[in-house]
Amino acid sequence: MSLYLAPTAAAATTTTTTLPRQLLPAPSIDLRRLERRGMALPLPPAPAPPPPLVSANNRHAGAKHKAVVVMGATGTGKSRLAVDLALRFGGEVINSDKIQLHAGLDVTTNKVTEQERAGVPHHLLGVARPDEEFTAADFRREATRAARAITARGRLPIVAGGSNSYVEELVDGDRAAFRDRYDCCFLWVDVQRAVLHGCVARRVDEMRARGLVDEVAAAFDPRRNDYSRGLWRAIGAPELDAYLRWPGPGVDGDAESEGERDRLLAAAIEDIKSNTRRLSCRQRAKIQRLAKMWGVRRVDATEVFRRRGDEADEAWQRLVAAPCIDAVRSFLRTDDAAATVASDLAVDGVVPVFAPAPAAAVAG
């Protein structure tokens, strides 16, 4: 299911902020795989979106820029919403997933494909070597650099990804330098835990069908015993280690040996599902803490994940995309975020949308 639109003229070429050590090229488009993932095929080119709206405070030297931060547990649709917003407001996406920062294992890490990007430029996606350490401070530095380049082009930075420690470092690290430069609109796509856990299980099965096991097997190194660094922390790599180390059936290829192989694979897939569910719980708990600190608009996408096909797309548009588009539109237009929250965006059980502005602002 998807609301991804065709690329606009302004965003026809996908660009990626790269570090000197970038590795793999962008993945090729596979329409058959896209259909299997339940994503919509590209539509005819849509009209170019209007330029990003800028508040009166941003029309003079020294004013702050605007940025949007999309948060949510794994599998809740953060990437989809980021693309929806970028297409509507002339934005570019900055990846904040610490595993997707690394090159390789695109299926295992569930990187957004070129087709799913719909022509929206994505930054910090697959830019670090698999074995390389990329710290939260590294992310803050590179994400800030990407945001500056995006705003210099008159476009809207949209930070999206599941590594909330990275997002926290970007927003509050280095003496909150990012918030001295940017007013931030925080959006949280949430799904009830029981529903999300069921979706996680189905997604792992879909990833397996798209080649997760073969992908990890192709990258497997029997000399590797450390899964605590870089890309190899990705859920899926350590869980498949015992299966990939299985020596194979004996000379006679007896059924008992083949049964052991199947058992190891089934256990690995179940561990992947279990560990992904645990990750989603940790992510949600972290977002709840950050929401109290920053002021975050929560949108409930549970109903989307209870439906299928066109009904799911309709629910996404009504319950997630439309409210978030309204929130960002108001955020870009108003100088008084608190007044906007109170008058236009009040929702039961939702905390305010916008980050409190620091006392002092520096030149943009």
363 falls within a domain: no
Q: In this structure, what CATH number is given to the domain that contains residue 214? A: 1.10.287.890
116 falls within a domain: yes
Q: For residue 218, with 0-12 CB atoms within 10 Å meaning exposed, 13-18 middle and 19 or more buried, which class applies?
A: exposed
Quick one: 189 and 203 in the same domain? no
Distance CA 194, CA 302 (A): 10
CA atoms within 13 A on the CB side of 83: 23
68 forms beta bridges with 158, 185
How far from chain centre, in Å, is Cα 146? 16
Distance CA 4, CA 290 (A): 28
Count of other CB atoms within 10 angstroms of residue 146: 22
Quick one: 110 and 33 in the same domain? yes
Q: Which of 219, 244, 275 is the last residue of a domain?
A: 275
Q: For residue 342, with 0-12 CB atoms within 10 Å meaning exposed, 13-18 middle and 19 or more buried, which class applies?
A: exposed
102 forms beta bridges with 128
Residue 84 three-state SS = helix
Quick one: 217 and 308 in the same domain? no
Q: How many domains does the chain have?
A: 2
How far from chain centre, in Å, is Cα 18? 18
364 falls within a domain: no
Using CA atoms, how far residue 140 sits from 153, 154, 175, 278, in Å, is 20, 21, 12, 26
Task: Please state the three-class secondary structure of 152-177 as a single string.
Answer: HCCCEEEEECCCHHHHHHHHHHHHHH
> Where does the pLDDT of residue 256 fall: very low under 50, low under 70, confident under 90, or very high at 90 and above?
low
Quick one: 139 and 152 in the same domain? yes
17 falls within a domain: yes
Q: What is the pLDDT of residue 249?
A: 66
Distance CA 88, CA 331 (A): 14
How far from chain centre, in Å, is Cα 253? 44
Distance CA 32, CA 54 (A): 40
Structural domain containing residue 252: 198-275
18 falls within a domain: yes
Which pTM was predicted? Answer: 0.76
Task: Please state the three-class secondary structure of 6-58 as a single string.
Answer: CCCHHHCCCCCCCCCCCCCCCCCCCHHHHHHCCCCCCCCCCCCCCCCCCCHHH
Using CA atoms, how far residue 155 sits from 22, 27, 85, 90, 301, in Å, is 24, 25, 12, 6, 27
On the question of pLDDT at 36 being above 90, the answer is no
Distance CA 90, CA 263 (A): 49
Quick one: 119 and 94 in the same domain? yes
Q: Which of 241, 275, 309 is the last residue of a domain?
A: 275
Using CA atoms, how far residue 23 sits from 18, 124, 131, 207, in Å, is 9, 12, 12, 23
Quick one: 73 and 214 in the same domain? no
Span 273-307, pLDDT tens digits: 999 999 999 999 999 999 999 999 999 999 999 99
> Where does the pLDDT of residue 251 fall: very low under 50, low under 70, confident under 90, or very high at 90 and above?
low
Quick one: 84 and 36 in the same domain? yes
Nearest to 362 by CA among 186, 144, 158: 144
Quick one: 34 and 136 in the same domain? yes
41 falls within a domain: yes
Quick one: 184 and 203 in the same domain? no
Q: What is the pLDDT of residue 62?
A: 59
352 falls within a domain: no
Q: Is residue 364 within 8 Å of 348, Cβ to Cβ?
A: no
Read off the amino acid at residue 29. I
On the question of pLDDT at 364 being above 60, the answer is no
Residue 286 three-state SS = helix
Quick one: 113 and 218 in the same domain? no
- For 20, phi then psi, to 5°, come to -60, -20
353 falls within a domain: no
Q: What is the pLDDT of residue 341?
A: 40
Q: What is the pLDDT of residue 348?
A: 35
Distance CA 112, CA 70 (A): 15
Q: In this structure, what CATH number is given to the domain that contains residue 25? A: 3.40.50.300
Rounded mean pLDDT of the chain?
80
Cross-sheet strand order for the sheet of 91-95: 122-123, 91-95, 156-160, 65-71, 182-190, 297-300
Distance CA 85, CA 322 (A): 10
Quick one: 258 and 324 in the same domain? no
Quick one: 213 and 141 in the same domain? no
Span 67-124, pLDDT tens digits: 999 999 999 999 999 999 999 999 999 999 999 999 999 999 999 999 999 999 999 9
On the question of pLDDT at 168 being above 60, the answer is yes
